[in-house]
Each structure stands twice: as C-alpha cells, then as structure tokens.
C-alpha cells in the first residue's frame, strides 16, 4: 500500500468518524460523559431530615431504629418493620444526556436501570442481595424510580371480614403496634401492593461526579403515611387477628378505604438525596 493511499484512507476514516478512538463503544468520546461510581441506600426516615425540608409531624426515631408516628386521630403507632420487594431501579438521565451517550451502562428510554430483584429492609437500610457498587454517567440527577415486584393476584379479605376484592399479593409490608400507654396493644401488618412503583425526586438535583464515590439515598418519609387515617380506630373495630395475634390489613377497601389512602400517602413520600440527608440541621 502506497504512502499516498494510506494518507487518503486516514482522512476518509476521520471524516466518517467511524475509526476515531473516541467513538468506540464505551469510550469517553466527545459528548459522552465519563462514568461515576455510585452506591445506593433505600430507607425510611422523617421529612424533617430530607433535602426537601418538608414540615415534620413529630415523628420519633427510637433508639432501636423503629419509628413512632401518629395517625390522624392522634394515636401513637410504633412501626417495627418495613420491607419492600424491588424489581429494578431506574435513574432518569440528566438533561442533555441520552442513551446514545450513556455508553457502558444498561440504558433504555433515557433511563439507566439496575436489575433486581432485591428484598429491602427500610428500617435497617439493607438489601438482599446487596445493591453492589454500580456506574452512572456524570451529571445532575433529579428523579429515580423503583419498579416493584409484581406478585400473582389473590383474593383479598380484610380483618373486618368480608371480601375487599381481588388484589395482587403485597410488595410492601409494614408491621407495627399501637402504643401500650394508650391501652391494650394491637399488633398489625399492613400488606400493600404499590402497582405504580415508587418515585424519588429532588428538584434541585443530585450531582454525580466521576472523580469520587457517590452515595445515593432513596428515602420514604413516614411523617404523612397515616394522614387522613385513624388506624387505631380501625384496629379497634377489626375482628379476629391471625394465629399470631396480628391483625392483617390488606386490600384497598379495608377500613373504609383507609388502606388505599395509606398506599397513596406512601407513593407520594419519596425523596432523593445523598448520605448527608439525615445529618442536615
């Protein structure tokens, strides 16, 4: 091959941009942001601690990690366990970045996805299996969505007796009990199906940097979960607990629609932040 031919071939390659090193898949070519290392935690918390600074409703985080909250009737409820079954975690790409530029990660419809399934404990902030360190394109992220595991449908019978309709098996379970200072303790298990998943927003944006390890925290603020719901009264009017003495509440129609209201309150309680979220004054 003559030197002249090689010279023209090199120019043709550059014009087509197909042979340029910065266009190879996974490269950090022009317009392609570098990838950043990220860790993730998913937990319950109080709105007073979040980056959105919502008005707190007097939620108490107890020394053992449980939460004391109040329903709309003023009754104290102690939440002892909160578990969620997560199918996938979707990060909406920063403005100006598309999947074509997000090389080296699984991306579709301008979202980078981490596939599960994960069983997540929101009291402890742990996951089984653990959500390993992963990578995201550098940029400012404002929205993360959780797709929850879809279980097979089952007939839903509330604790009040009577069929509350067909409902999918729960992908979120909240366990707790009433405060002993208010009378006999009533233990409960709220079994919810969040069919639309969960969204976590931060209007100001969370910056992910390629030159550091980034911590992303997804938090559900428990403060308003029982807004418009007198759960203690519902428990008092409920009939027979299960064999362990726990009142199981499931199906949107249970307690005159109280479970539906709780589910909607939870779906609106997500915040996106970093590991400074719980340390803000």
Gap between the Cα atoms of 65 and 45, Å rounded: 10
pTM equals 0.79
Name the residue with tokens 């090199």.
10
- Whether residues 37 and 23 share a domain: the answer is no
- Whether residues 62 and 6 share a domain: the answer is no
- pLDDT tens per residue, range 66-111: 999 999 999 999 999 999 999 999 999 999 999 999 988 999 999 9
Domain count, the chain: 2
What's the pLDDT at 24? Answer: 32
- Whether residues 139 and 210 share a domain: the answer is yes
What's the pLDDT at 41? Answer: 92
Gap between the Cα atoms of 229 and 5, Å rounded: 80
Q: Tell me the residue range of the domain where 166 lies.
A: 31-279
pLDDT confidence band for 23 (50 / 70 / 90): very low
- pLDDT tens per residue, range 155-180: 544 444 444 444 568 999 999 999 98
List, in order, residues 6 or more apart from 278 with CB less than 8 Å away: 45, 49, 217
- Whether residues 22 and 154 share a domain: the answer is no
CA torsion angle for 78, 174, 255, 149 (degrees, to 10)?
A: 170
Structure tokens at 92: 């909406």
- Whether residues 6 and 139 share a domain: the answer is no
List, in order, residues 6 or more apart from 1 with CB less than 8 Å away: none
Task: Out of 133-137, 201-205, 237-241, pick the least confident.
Answer: 237-241
- CB 150 within 8 Å of CB 133: no
CB atoms within 10 A of CB 134: 18
- Whether residues 22 and 121 share a domain: the answer is no
- Whether residues 81 and 166 share a domain: the answer is yes
pLDDT confidence band for 195 (50 / 70 / 90): confident
- Whether residues 117 and 206 share a domain: the answer is yes
Name the residue with tokens 């022009």.
30
- Whether residues 248 and 268 share a domain: the answer is yes
- Whether residues 87 and 125 share a domain: the answer is yes
- Whether residues 53 and 78 share a domain: the answer is yes
DSSP 207-240: EE-TTSEEEEEEEEEGGGTTTT--HHHHHHH---
- Whether residues 90 and 18 share a domain: the answer is no
């Amino acid at each position: 091959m003559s030197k002249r031919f090689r010279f023209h071939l090199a120019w043709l390659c550059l014009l087509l941009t197909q042979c340029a090193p910065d266009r190879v898949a996974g490269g950090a070519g022009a317009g392609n942001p570098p990838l950043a290392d990220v860790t993730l935690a998913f937990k319950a918390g109080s709105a007073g601690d979040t980056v959105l600074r919502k008005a707190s409703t007097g939620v108490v985080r107890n020394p053992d990690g449980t939460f004391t909250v109040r329903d709309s009737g003023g009754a104290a409820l102690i939440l002892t366990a909160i578990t969620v079954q997560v199918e996938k975690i979707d990060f909406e790409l920063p403005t100006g970045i598309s999947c074509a530029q997000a090389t080296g990660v699984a991306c579709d419809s301008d979202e980078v996805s981490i596939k599960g399934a994960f069983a997540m404990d929101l009291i402890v902030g742990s996951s089984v299996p653990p959500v390993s360190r992963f990578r995201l394109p550098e940029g400012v992220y404002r929205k993360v969505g959780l797709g929850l595991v879809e279980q097979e449908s089952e007939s839903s019978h509330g604790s009040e007796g009577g069929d509350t309709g067909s409902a999918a098996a729960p992908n979120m379970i909240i366990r707790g009990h009433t405060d002993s200072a208010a009378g006999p303790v009533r233990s409960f298990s709220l079994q919810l199906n969040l069919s639309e998943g969960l969204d976590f927003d931060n209007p100001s944006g969370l910056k992910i940097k390629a030159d550091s390890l980034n911590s992303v925290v997804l938090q559900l603020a428990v403060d308003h979960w029982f807004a418009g719901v007198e759960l203690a009264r519902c428990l008092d009017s409920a009939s027979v607990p299960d064999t362990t003495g726990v009142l199981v509440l499931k199906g949107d129609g249970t307690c005159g629609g109280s479970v539906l209201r709780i589910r909607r309150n939870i779906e609106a309680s997500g915040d996106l932040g970093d590991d400074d979220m719980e340390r803000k004054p």
